[in-house]
Structure 1
């Protein structure tokens, strides 16, 4: 039997655990949703470039999450590196603000930095607005960078004025910072989505240029499949009593959603077609090492 004190301690631990889960839960949900979206955006762009629809592949949430890693790795790595460099610069500026002789120079420099940052962001936005039909890769990231630099310049100017007046920085800044944060977050989301779609289109182009590096596939079927795509050869491998048809000249694209997706040798984005077979045992497929072809 546990004492009332032990029971109270267990209840307190459960309460703290639930509080932690309530705080961690929503961020994990948002992160998972973002991973799924970016994985879907990459796969959708690849499927459209190949003349397909992403729903045909029957990918699961886990599949989309795994496909999003490549889309997020470089943007996140650059974001961390730039964030660290910015923190180092901001700390150096804070040390200079502590010295009275640098405050005036820093205040004037901060004004110039703010004007340049906001002007650059506005110029990049004009470029996007005047060319809505084009996908300008990395431009959303550049707009976000201009906004961050401009907002930081204003912050340094205010800190310099506060140091000169020997008074803490006053004024409601939470709303301003919140709006900048939301806008920068949306721009990063936009830029990462464009980057993921570009990776998808690049993957489709890569299949065209290096389809010979995909695993070779030979399909055996008791019924004629009537595969009419170029460079696919149909041979009879059975007898009249037990017919068996053999199809060669195919390359494995992916097996997903209860289907086998195959490309023909020499597949191209403009003229190639994708052969889709049911992965239900009605056909037998032999896969081979492309290096052995």
Structure 2
């Protein structure tokens, strides 16, 4: 055997290392694709919970900072409302991947490439045109809050970008021209724009749900747990329908307050609503949760 003849064992080792490197490269590509959506989803959950709670607090005459909610609290308060939209987003993403794979399989046959390229061109133009029309609808009506329109703009951009990608892939390698703009930069810009639109739409939707939650408290305040407050010091609560009764003696004064409903206990504070609470005339009673007062809670259904 000549010393210049290739060594089969060395060749197999090189092929194996090349295969491992290829797998690692694909793994890193998958992680780079999966990572940003997970980060965006977490940020959306936190922001959604904050925006929803902020709008609800403002409708009730409060500031969200009074509640002392943590990041975990905001996420938990947003999951119930965002669970179905996120589930639909995952389902749509899976369907899109299946469609993209089917289109890629059709492009393996040369006779389908022309029709796929024409269809992809139409999809690209329609997607970008739809996003532009929705954008004009928002710009021309700045005083109105158009729910879901930012989501529709993001959808148009994603559909248009996918049509552009399919159109490029449908061009035979011999007919492709030199790329001037890096594809990575183009995808990054689209990703950033779609992310901003998701935050925008989430803010509008969250604020609408927050205002709806405040209105729901007005209509269903009688279903909240009852609260009876005992305090050695007179609290002088002046909220409507709240009754003060002296339950102690001159030597050991004790005051009892009834006609209150529990809103939430958070941030070292107890938030109470008066019976018959309304957005226009209701009051929110805030007490320290430090042992200076004693509160007895009861089932509203038992009243």
Q: TM-score, normalised by structure 2?
A: 0.80
1:186-235 deviation per Cα after TM superposition (whole angstroms, max 9, x unaligned): 11122222222222222212211111121110111222222111121222
Distance 1:216 1:120 in 2: 52
> Where does 1:240-259 land on structure 2 (aligned, <5 Å)?
240-259=250-269
**More displaced 10-residue stretch of structure 1: 177-186 or 237-246:** 237-246
CA contact (8 A) 1:72 1:192 kept: no
* 1:86 maps to which of 90, 96, 105: 96
Q: Cα gap change, 1:33/1:138 in structure 2, threshold over 3 Å: closer, same or farther?
A: closer
- The residue correspondences of 1:130-145 to structure 2 (distance < 5 A) are 130-145=140-155
Mapped to 2, the partners of 1:179 and 1:211 lie a distance apart of 47
Q: Deviations over 1:122-170 (max 9, x none)?
A: 11111111122222221111100000111111122222222xx656785
Q: Does 1:62 align with 2:60?
A: no
Measured after TM superposition, the shift of residue 33 of structure 1 is 5.3
Structure 1 position 206 matched with structure 2 position 226: no
TM normalised by structure 1 equals 0.83
Measure how far apart 1:63 and its partner are: 2.0
Q: What is the correspondence of 1:1-293 to structure 2 with a 5 Å cutoff?
A: 35-162=45-172, 171=179, 172-293=182-303
Contact 1:159 1:169 in 2 (8 A): no
SS across alignment from 1:210: helix
Matched residues, number: 269
1:5 paired residue number: none
In structure 1, what is the Cα distance between the partners aligned to 2:84 and 2:139? 26
Per-residue deviation at 1:276? 0.8
Consecutive unaligned residues in structure 2, runs of 5 or more? 1-27
Q: 1:139 to 1:30 in 2, by over 3 A?
A: closer
Partner of 2:12: none
Q: SS state of the match for residue 268, structure 1?
A: coil
- Is the CA contact 1:42–1:71 (under 8 Å) kept in the aligned structure 2? no
Instruction: State the alpha-carbon separation in 1 of the partners of residues 40 and 101 from structure 2.
Output: 31
Whole-angstrom distance in 1 between the partners of 2:40 and 2:98: 29
| Cα pair distance change 1:181/1:31, threshold 3 Å | closer
